[in-house]
Structure 1
Amino acid sequence: MHVETMGLAERWWYALKPASWPKVFVPALFGQAVGAAHAGRLSVGALAFGVLWMVADVAFIVLLNDWGDRAVDALKRRMFPKAGSPKTIPDGILPATALLAAGLGAGTVALLLAMVAGATLERPLLAPLAALALFVFIAYSLPPLRLNYRGGGEVLEMVGVGAVLPALHAYAQCGQWAPAWFVALAPGLLALSLSSALASGLSDEESDRAGGKRTWASVRGNASARRGSEVLLVLGALLWLAAPWMTRKAPPLTVLLAAGVVLVFAARVRRRSPGAVTNAFGAQSAFKLELHRAIWWGTLALSGLVLLGGLGLLGGAPA
């Protein structure tokens, strides 16, 4: 990629990192599906809010994360001049001030959307839940808390992606932030979210350590992060399989199929793992690709089947 030949629109599209969007879009879709299944109908208004809110939220997260990480990103570029894709700020794709302004603007839009939708859909807690979701990211990446630098960022990401985000969308659909099947399925989603969070630090292990950023990989090392991700991936599938007993129902086909998808990709993750050692950036990308496929495709399968069951279109699924 030649940065100097990129147009302004292309620079902004690159900065928004569309390949990373499923990390937040998929849990949001899960929340929408569980909420609609609980209500027994799909609210088009809540779905429209969900799509618009997620666009604003993902811009808020991606742009401000680059702004917050600009120093350690620049350090990584100095340590590994030819490693990985260009960094938005250090490689001059966009200035830091532009990302800060756009990210704050996106967060403001997300709050306004939640306020309007809360009044329109008669969901009084929608704006507070949206504010909580935004705050989780602020605590994760931005001063003064900046927990992704102090330690504990992976746990905060697990809570934000695996609980707060889907709860917000479930509430938009059905008026309850924790319907029964959400409570039953959330432990598996939390495990999968933590699996992704541990793996996210693999490619930045040495630069994060040099920059004082305390991630699981930078503190405990590459092997520990990979092994933890693999174990949590399998644990997430097993927790989904246990979910029917939490609701005192027989195991539905829904959970079996979704867990099966995760486990099939988990085997592929395991095969990629031995090569994804420190600074093997290509092998790490392949490892994380299979990991994300396990999480995203498994959660999408679960979401679709839960929704069909809740709408009465699939027998034996949760409602």
Structure 2
Amino acid sequence: MLASGEIPHPKVLLILGHPRKDSFCGALAEVYAEGAERAGLEVRRLILADAVFDPNVRVPSPENQILEPDLRRAQELILWADHLVFVYPTWWGTAPALLKGFLDRTLVPGFAFEDQEGGPGPGCGLLKGRSAHLLVTMDTPPWAYRLFIRQPGHMAMKRATLGFCGIRPAFVSSIGPVRSAALALRQAWLDRVRQEAFRLPARLAAARRWARLRAWLKILRLQFYPMTWVAYTLGALAASRGRPWSALGYGLGYACVFLAEVLTVLGNEWYDQGTDRLNRHAGPFNGGSRVLVEGALGGASVRRAMRCVALLFLLGLSSLAWALPTSHRAIGLMVAVTCLAVSYTMPPLRLVYRGLGELDVALTHSFAAIACGALLQCGTALPPAVWQIGAPLFLATLPAIILSAVPDLEADGAVGKRTLAVLLGPRRAVALALGAALAAAALGLCGRLLGYYDGLSGLAIYLAVAHGLVLAWRLARFFRQGAPTMRIDGLMVLALTYLLWFGLIPLVHLL
């Protein structure tokens, strides 16, 4: 099976899904096999037109239907292979009935994916470590199939079928329009497919490198970093009023803040593997990146990365102390804030296991980040703006972090993670999030009335209040529904965009 290491000679299973063996698809399959064998690859063939099986699922669940001998052999070949090549035509926008029936009967729960209680969950594919290539003929021009029809057949095979079973990457070659193609063009397609097979090992190696890079970007969860940058910048701008601006202090300071956040995120990923494995409701805003639990990166690599980031953080602090001798108070604060941030899941404190996780996140993303930016500019007492800006931002952050634990409730409770959703129950946690959202709006209005914000940026407070009311209404409706444990991506988007107001409005005002 294809693993994270390089396999120079992957075993190839060639599956011809056209019901006629003497078709152009049959010719493509033959030249692919020829190219693969010339490259030194071991190739086996599976000709669906020769297989004897019932393509229809006649029982409530396909794994309960007895497999014909040809389908049992097909499963054995799939397990043997490192790389699957499907050759088939596009009929009515998707694969022919023969191939669809083969997939329905062969890729059954327990073989192709794990049938978890309550339905298949994320990362349930059992055929991980394999890759695929779709050689698809069509009479529609490939560009029209892509732009106007939106590739339903490609998407169904690549994502909903193979991807769901863990088979990644899946390359796609669209060949057409075939019916009107001259003999010379058909020969060019055959030559191209032969070369595709010949360069398979190099292509897979490149794909693994890209997949690893994507996994590192995914585990870093960069979508959550801009808010910390906004809070840090707010503190720097508030403290620099009437003082010389220290670009060096700002840049080195944010480098340290960024590294501290990276260390926190990696630590959360490492120490949350227990709950992430159990989580059936993971999404883009909860449940972690799933890079470790799905095996996209190894644990040893992540631990090494954590050590490297910690070392870079210490080097950053040393550079800051050398460049700005007056920054010792800011450095002390950064060390304290970093310890607080990483202690969300990291021993010995493990604040989220003590019911303090949400408070930790809200503090580090509001008051703490603002104070770090401010101290690096003034080096003395914090200006009052830190508290004026930090209070509504703190309250606006709470709804998002509280809500993110609702889909995770069952998994978190199973490993002893004491989020507010676990401690209070989901309905009370949602009620607390609603109260925080309204309190943030009220503080924003007070800031406007007291003259903290003026001009157009101050008027935007009324838009933030309107957003807060919509969020409160959605939270109240979710509360009345019983706050069920499920993915709440729409509600999370509403909560995350709400807190942006309380960073961007004072940022525009200070600029």
Q: TM-score, normalised by structure 1?
A: 0.83
Question: Structure 1 residue 253 and structure 2 residue 454: aligned?
Answer: yes
Distance in 2, matches of 1:83 and 1:236, equals 28
Query: Which residue number in structure 2 is paired with residue 29 of structure 1?
Result: 233
Q: Deviations over 1:274-302 (max 9, x none)?
A: 35832330xx1111111111112331121
C-alpha distance in structure 2 between counterparts of 1:138 and 1:252, whole Å: 34
Structure 1 window deviating more from structure 2 (250-259 vs 226-235): it is 250-259
Matched, 1:136 2:317: no
1:315 corresponds in structure 2 to none
Distance 1:107 1:265, change over 3 A: farther
Other-structure match for 1:108 = 311
Alignment of 1:61 with 2:278, yes or no, is no
* Per-residue deviation, residues 151-174 of structure 1 (Å, max 9, x unmatched): 121122222222222111111122
Quote the offset at 1:83 in angstroms. Answer: 4.9
The equivalent of 1:227 in structure 2 is 431
- Cα 1:176/1:226, change in 2 over 3 Å: farther
Greater Cα shift, 163-172 or 22-31: 22-31
* In structure 2, C-alpha distance between the alignment counterparts of 1:34 and 1:40, rounded to whole Å: 10
Deviations 1:233-289 (A, max 9, x none): 2212322443478xxx645416743533432321332343335832330xx111111
1:154 aligns with 2:353: no
In structure 2, list runs of 5 or more residues that go unmatched: 1-158, 170-209
| 1:195-253 Cα deviation digits (max 9, x unpaired) | 333222122111111221111011212222222222212212322443478xxx64541
> In structure 1, the residue corresponding to 2:344 is in which secondary structure?
helix
Distance 1:71 1:177 in 2: 43
Determine whether 1:270 maps to 2:468: no
- Residue of structure 1 equivalent to 2:405: 201
Matched, 1:45 2:248: yes
One-letter amino acid of the structure 2 residue matched with residue 118 of structure 1: A
Cα distance change on mapping 1:241 and 1:271 into 2, 3 Å = closer
**Match for residue 84 of structure 1 among 260, 268, 283:** 283
Equivalent position amino acid for 1:223 in 2: R
The aligned counterpart of 1:211 is 415
Q: What residue is the counterpart of 2:502 in the other structure?
A: 298
**What is the CA deviation profile of residues 67-88 of structure 1, one whole-angstrom value per residue up to 9, with x for unaligned ones?**
0101111122xxx2x7536611
- Select the structure with the greater relative contact order (CA < 8 A; seq sep ≥ 6): 1
| Corresponding position: 1:95 with 2:298 | yes
Deviates more, 1:182-191 or 1:10-19: 182-191
> Are 1:111 and 1:130, in contact at CA under 8 Å, matched by a contact in 2?
no
In terms of Rg, which structure is larger? 2
- 1:183 and 2:387 matched: yes
Query: Higher mean Cα deviation, 257-266 or 195-204?
Result: 257-266
Deviates more, 1:62-71 or 1:98-107: 98-107
Could you tell me which residue of structure 2 aligns to residue 311 of structure 1? none
| 2:7 corresponding residue in structure 1 | none
Closer, same or farther: CA 58–204 of 1 in aligned 2, 3 Å: same
Rounded Cα–Cα distance in structure 2 between residues aligned with 1:177 and 1:163: 14
Task: Work out whether residues 367 and 387 of structure 2, in 8 Å CA contact, stay in contact via their aligned partners in 1.
Answer: no
Aligned residue identity for 1:151: G
Aligned residues: 297
**In the TM superposition, what is the alpha-carbon distance from 1:177 to its structure 2 partner?**
5.5
Q: Which amino acid aligns with 2:462?
A: G
Mean alpha-carbon deviation: is it higher for 218-227 or for 284-293?
218-227
User: Residue 328 of structure 2: SS of its match in structure 1?
Assistant: coil
Please list the CA deviations of residues 47-101 of structure 1 after superposition, one character each: whole Å capped at 9, or x if unmatched.
312442233122111111100101111122xxx2x75366111111212222222
Give SS of 1:140's match.
coil
Residue 291 of structure 2 aligns to a residue in which SS? Answer: coil
User: Which structure has the highest helix share of the two?
Assistant: 1
Q: Is the 8 A contact 1:75 1:211 kept in 2?
A: no
* Equivalent residues of 2:273, 2:292 under 8 A apart: yes
Unaligned runs of 5+ in 1: 309-319
1:73 aligns with 2:276: yes
Tell me the distance in 1 between the aligned counterparts of 2:339 and 2:223: 23
